[in-house]
Structure 1
Amino acid sequence: MYLLYEEPIHNPRLKKYWLEGHKSGTVELVADLPGFPDNIRLNEKGQFWVAMDCCRTQAQEVFIQNPWMRSIYFRLPVPMRYLARLVGMRMYSVISLFSEKGEILDVLEDKKGVVMKLVSEVREENGKLWIGTVAHNHIATLPYP
């Protein structure tokens, strides 16, 4: 048995922490990611979906190195879409499906943010993907596969 977790700060990646067995207490790299991971959800096949805000910009790197700047930025009384444009963030998301070994099985990108921006969650249920975000007050559903 293991625990999957995100390491989003400096090098966005997924890791496996083994809870029991001969690997107990050890950590394995599962996958390097192109963006900031936000939530990991297993499907019925033991594969896992990762929702990511993509992709890293110079401004985001500055915020990572200076948490006090990030704190001020997110407290400004200006809508997120204007703040993002101001610092050059690209407001699109990537949803990736990985095997238990970290192999990329599928990648869904919405580079124009038509379906959903700032995806924070994806869950596969009954032939559909349920996609949630922190930027909207609704969810999106897509037939899958």
Structure 2
Amino acid sequence: MVKFGYTILYVADVAASVNFYEKAFGFQRKFVTPENDYAELLSGETTLAFASKTLASSNLKKGFIASDKTQQPFAIEIGFVTENPAAVLAHAVEQGATIEEDVLTKPWGQTVAYLRDIDGFLIELCSPMG
């Protein structure tokens, strides 16, 4: 059996990224290495984790494409479910996020918004389905 355990974002400053996610979304630290090059947050069933670009480079010998706020986001998003996407969006922007697409209601009734975190990763804020 395979279980989705975590998503790891490769970031320039693990401590700053963890701090952003704690303040913007209320997540709590689960684990941080003494070197501050890897951290995990309590974010529900699936762990959200961060690795320094230096650590990621040591694992991926052929390299990787780093997230860049000045470029378009990757073709992937992190989805956070909340009863009030508009309020969470406003709070995240106060903490340093940037709006990619403001709050809107989809034809099926779900409310969504898209933002970029301080490292440029795309986040969807959405109301629960059903």
Same fold (TM over 0.5): no
TM, length-normalised to structure 2: 0.25
The answer to which structure has the higher helix fraction is 2
Higher RCO (CA < 8 A, seq sep 6+)? 2
> For the pair shown, which has the larger CA radius of gyration, 1 or 2?
1
